[in-house]
């Protein structure tokens, strides 16, 4: 029994030295035969992928610089959405053919821990266990579905589970134009916080403001590459007090400057380091010779809580933290929350899409779409 025509998939042959090296030298597109149901389990589902998010983690993983790697050769694409084209007998009642689904990137695909690691979303077809699928919200596009879980679960884990943000507080969000940063803007506003968002581009900051940020600050560097201080602007926006919470997805000099933008006793959320991504050795060499460093004097004298916020690691170690997170996100979706999709590419343009993600060329989530079936 065939579930459809021959498709296309991406394959990472081996880890690159850097994400861009992986994109140029180790990533290729090839024909993909539809998965054969005779080889699948009773709880397996075949999804015809319609859209897959172009993720920062896809880039880091392809260079072996992420904390968890699928073993090459594998198909990248942590997050995707699509249509069910075959279900095993134990999955068919829940996921009939034609169901519109989102794949949970913690339970299937390259970021999962089990046998489904090789089934990423940069492909025409993916196989997932029934338990790793969720319904696409009514009225949503597949592109929106592909941009939901990773970004919004990260933003929730950081702001709520770790940061304890409450109504009336002020949050400084770095990397706010990015996939996780814009999700953080959306969630911080729903928590009743005031958002000060930073970014390097006036144009992208306009989009961030349209997405709910109360204030935006454009960050800049001088001719020597030194970051121009922005503490005075933050202090002016907070009546001289400083912010209650920093959401830092950028790292590098912005982190150190941010320690001077906070009130005494603030929470400092370490989300990522998009500005200094090559922390670990390339090609799976492990170690962290280029890790960011924060000054202990400022942390101590300002009584700061510095909180590491690794969403996937925390969830794998304690899956029980997830139910409240997903329930909150579902509640916000019912009230109108939806991801911002800033760029759409054909899967054939995957290399360009990944380069654009690495260079911060779009706002919010970016996706690739496989060719139409038949």
Residue of closest CB approach to ligand NAP: 178
Shortest reach from residue 198's CB to ligand NAP, in Å: 7
Closer by beta carbon to ligand NAP, 40 or else 338: 338
Cβ contacts of residue 181 below 8 Å, gap of 6+?
Answer: 173, 174, 175, 197, 208, 247, 249
Query: In whole angstroms, how close is the CB of 233 to ligand NAP at the nearest point?
Result: 16
Given the complex with ligand NAP, which of 56 and 125 has the nearer CB atom? Answer: 56
Helices first, then strands: H and E counts in the chain? 12, 15
- To the nearest whole angstrom, how small is the minimum distance from the Cβ of residue 218 to ligand NAP? 9
| Residue 153 or 244 having the CB closest to ligand NAP | 153
Q: Which lies closer to ligand NAP via its Cβ, residue 72 or residue 178? A: 178
Q: Which of 44, 104 has the CB closer to ligand NAP?
A: 104
Nearer to ligand NAP among residue 300 and residue 317 (C-beta): 317
Residue holding tokens 């180790």? 26
Would you say 196 and 214 are in contact if contact means Cβ atoms under 8 Å apart?
yes
Task: Give 289's contacts (C-beta < 8 A, 6+ positions apart).
Answer: 280, 281
In the complex, least distance from residue 103 CB atom to ligand NAP, rounded to whole angstroms: 16
* Alpha carbons within 13 A on the beta-carbon side of 155: 28
Closest CA to 169 of 239, 270, 243: 243
Least separation in angstroms between residue 217's CB and ligand NAP is 11
Token pair 């929470």: residue: 267
305-308 sheet: strands from edge to edge: 215-218, 194-199, 170-174, 243-248, 262-270, 305-308
Whose structure tokens read 């990397």?
A: 175
Of 190 and 204, CB closest to ligand NAP: 204
For residue 71, count other CB atoms closer than 10 A to its CB. Answer: 11
Closer residue to ligand NAP in complex, CB, 88/365: 365
Quote the least distance from Cβ 203 to ligand NAP, whole Å: 9
Residues paired with residue 77 on neighbouring β-strands, in sequence order: none
Report how far residue 142's alpha carbon sits from residue 341's, in angstroms, rounded to the nearest whole number: 10
Nearest to 102 by CA among 78, 118, 124: 78
Q: Which residue has the tokens 């930073």?
A: 198
Question: Shortest approach of ligand NAP to residue 154 CB, angstroms?
Answer: 4
Strands (E), the chain: 7-12, 27-32, 44-53, 80-87, 100-103, 125-129, 133-135, 170-174, 194-199, 215-218, 243-248, 262-270, 305-308, 341-346, 365-369
Closer residue to ligand NAP (CB): 230 or 273 = 273
Helical spans, DSSP H, in the chain? 19-21, 56-62, 142-146, 149-156, 179-190, 202-210, 231-237, 253-258, 296-301, 311-317, 322-334, 350-358
Minimum distance of ligand NAP from residue 370's CB (angstroms): 21
Nearer to ligand NAP, 76 or 88 (CB): 76
- Binding residues (CB under 6 A) for ligand NAP: these are 56, 150, 154, 175, 177-181, 199-201, 204, 249-250, 271-275, 309-312, 357, 360
CB of 78 to ligand NAP, least distance (A): 10
The CA distance from 103 to 148, in Å, is 10
CB of 250 to ligand NAP, least distance (A): 4
């Amino acid at each position: 029994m065939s579930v459809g025509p021959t498709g296309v998939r991406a394959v990472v042959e081996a880890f690159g030295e850097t994400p861009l090296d992986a994109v140029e030298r180790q990533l290729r597109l090839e024909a993909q035969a539809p998965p054969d149901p005779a080889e699948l389990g009773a709880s397996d589902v075949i999804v015809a992928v319609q859209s897959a998010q172009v993720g920062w983690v896809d880039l880091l993983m392809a260079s072996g610089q992420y904390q968890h790697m699928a073993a090459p050769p594998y198909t990248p694409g942590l997050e995707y959405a699509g249509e069910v084209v075959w279900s095993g007998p134990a999955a068919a009642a829940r996921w009939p053919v034609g169901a519109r689904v989102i794949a949970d990137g913690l339970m299937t695909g390259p970021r999962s821990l089990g046998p489904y690691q090789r089934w990423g979303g940069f492909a025409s077809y993916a196989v997932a266990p029934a338990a790793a699928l969720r319904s696409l919200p009514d009225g949503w596009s597949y592109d929106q579905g592909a941009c939901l879980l990773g970004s919004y679960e990260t933003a929730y884990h950081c702001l709520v589970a770790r940061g304890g943000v409450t109504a009336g507080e002020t949050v400084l969000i770095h990397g706010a134009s990015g996939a996780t940063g814009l999700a953080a803007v959306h969630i911080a506003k729903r928590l009743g916080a005031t958002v000060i968002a930073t970014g390097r581009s006036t144009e992208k900051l306009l989009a961030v403001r349209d997405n709910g940020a109360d204030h935006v600050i454009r960050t800049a560097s001088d001719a020597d590459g030194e970051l121009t201080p922005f503490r005075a602007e933050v202090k002016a926006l907070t009546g001289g007090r400083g912010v209650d919470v920093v959401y830092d997805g950028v790292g590098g000099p912005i982190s150190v400057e941010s320690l001077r933008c906070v009130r005494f006793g603030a929470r400092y959320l370490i989300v990522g380091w998009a500005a200094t991504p090559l922390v670990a050795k390339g090609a799976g060499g492990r170690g962290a010779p280029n890790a960011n460093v924060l000054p202990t004097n400022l942390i101590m004298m300002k009584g700061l809580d510095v909180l590491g916020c690794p969403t996937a690691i925390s969830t794998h170690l304690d899956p029980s933290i997830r139910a409240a997170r997903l329930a909150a996100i579902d509640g916000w979706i019912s009230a109108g929350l939806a991801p911002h999709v800033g760029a759409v590419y054909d899967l054939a343009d995957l290399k360009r899409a990944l380069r654009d993600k690495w260079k911060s060329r779009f706002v919010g989530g970016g996706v690739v779409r496989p060719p139409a079936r038949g």
